Amino acid sequence: MNGFRRFMNGRYGADQLGRFLSFVALILLVINLFVRNYILLIIAGVIIGYNFYRMFSRDVSRRSEENGKFLTFVYNLKRKFTSAKNQAADKDHCIFKCPRCKKKLRVPKGKGTISIHCPQCGMDFIKRT
């Protein structure tokens, strides 16, 4: 055990991106059990190899930057789906985008044709709710 600790000293190790890559490789291997396609096996092998390369890398700053970009991407994806889910749950309001600045504006439903004022850029536009 001490030998492995000495070996891993100064190396990057496992992170969230590594766990995700391992999960993707495992899914591809399970699919390959049923499909029997050597391309899936090669892709899974490349993913596993890249994951080991990342784990044993001594360039900690670059691996940390890769993981940070991955976590930012996942956060933005989750935020987009949460926003869409919240908008679908809101039955009393419509969401419109300002034609000039693209800011999302929430207005009540059932008011007919109304003039909407964008607080960010000051543009007025007419929409039917």
For 55-121, the DSSP string reads HT-S-HHHHHHHHHHHHHHHHHHHHHHHHHHHHHH--SEEEEE-TTT--EEEEETT--EEEEE-TTT
* Radius of gyration in angstroms for the set of CA atoms belonging to the chain, rounded to a whole number: 24
Q: What are the pLDDT tens digits along the chain (129 aa)? A: 788 888 888 899 999 999 999 999 999 999 999 999 999 999 999 999 999 999 999 999 999 999 999 999 999 999 988 988 887 788 888 889 999 999 999 899 988 899 999 999 999 998 988
For 13-58, the DSSP string reads ---HHHHHHHHHHHHHHHHHHHH--HHHHHHHHHHHHHHHHHHT-S
pLDDT score for 5: 86
